[in-house]
């Protein structure tokens, strides 16, 4: 008989200090989008770096979601010197997600990387990250406001992207332009080997990347589709399509 239990998706965690405790966290919007629109079971993967057995964790899963975060990938991971402006960092997350990316793709398992996850995907393939892009000539301010700005204002849909025709993202969205939100101050710099650009903003910022050799869903996006997907299917059709395609890929992988 076919397995009707929803597939498990591993969701990356950040390591944070909350009320004096060290906690492993993932925002509700990510897990809710996986559970509702993706129709999968989200399972949080703690940021234990070398202490977690990534291969064993993946043996129970059918997909991996790399979340966004306030922290940034440590510049030493892509051959640069860490500056104060690049903080905060989360080395335990780096030590968990970067190996996880390679193990996931070697299995042919679906991988969906959002914001920080999108940047992690680029670093895992040898790419670099540009910091404070709003200070570069010709670039927009992609930060979406300060952390004091109301969430609904920060995560509003506010600029368009050009989607690469014939790519993974184009096939999922069914369009060559779409409207996205923007909550980041870093972006992909040098593109990693084996990756291809799936979308760009009008200022040239790389907004989505795909893994060229992937046998399944393998995408990174710089924006936050989980914010809209968590509100329910169809509220923002591109966000719905992304999480639905990811969930479908997880079901296909398990089958």
The whole-angstrom separation of Cα 133 and Cα 174 is 29
Contact present, 224 and 114 (Cβ < 8 Å): yes
Active-site option among 120, 198, 207, 226: 226
* Spatial CA neighbour of 63 closest among 237, 242, 193: 242
**8-state DSSP, 89:** B
The whole-angstrom separation of Cα 248 and Cα 253 is 9
Residue 132 designated active-site: no
149's enclosing H/E stretch is none
The whole-angstrom separation of Cα 29 and Cα 120 is 20
DSSP bridge partners of 211: 195
**8-state DSSP, 68:** P
Alpha carbon 68 to chain centroid, angstroms:
6
Active-site option among 74, 118, 142, 224: 224
The whole-angstrom separation of Cα 66 and Cα 88 is 18
Active-site option among 40, 115, 118, 198: 115
The whole-angstrom separation of Cα 23 and Cα 12 is 13
Report in angstroms the alpha-carbon separations of 217 from 40, 167, 168, 187, 242: 15, 11, 8, 22, 10
Residue 227 designated active-site: no
Active site residues: 115, 224, 226
């Amino acid at each position: 008989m076919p397995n009707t239990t929803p597939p498990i998706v591993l969701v990356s965690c950040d390591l944070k200090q909350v009320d004096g405790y060290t906690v492993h966290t993932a925002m509700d919007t990510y897990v809710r989008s996986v559970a509702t629109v993706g129709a999968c079971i989200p399972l949080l993967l703690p940021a234990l770096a070398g202490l977690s057995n990534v291969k064993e964790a993946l043996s129970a899963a059918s997909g991996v979601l790399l979340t966004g975060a306030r922290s940034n990938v440590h510049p030493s991971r892509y051959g640069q010197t860490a500056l104060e402006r690049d903080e905060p960092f989360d080395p335990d997350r780096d030590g968990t997600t970067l190996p996880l990316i390679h193990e996931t793709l070697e299995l042919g398992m679906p991988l969906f990387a959002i914001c920080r996850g999108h940047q992690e995907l680029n670093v895992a393939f040898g790419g670099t990250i540009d910091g404070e892009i709003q200070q570069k000539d010709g670039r927009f301010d992609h930060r979406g406001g300060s952390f004091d700005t109301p969430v609904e204002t920060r995560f509003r849909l506010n600029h368009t992207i050009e989607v690469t025709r014939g790519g993974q993202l184009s096939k999922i969205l069914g369009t060559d332009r779409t409207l996205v939100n923007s909550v980041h101050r870093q972006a992909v710099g040098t593109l990693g080997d084996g990756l291809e650009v799936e979308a760009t903003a009008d200022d040239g910022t790389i907004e989505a990347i795909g893994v060229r050799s992937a046998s399944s869903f393998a995408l990174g996006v710089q924006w936050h589709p989980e914010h809209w997907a968590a509100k329910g299917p169809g509220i923002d059709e591109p966000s719905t399509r992304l999480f639905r395609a990811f969930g479908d890929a997880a079901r296909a992988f398990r089958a």
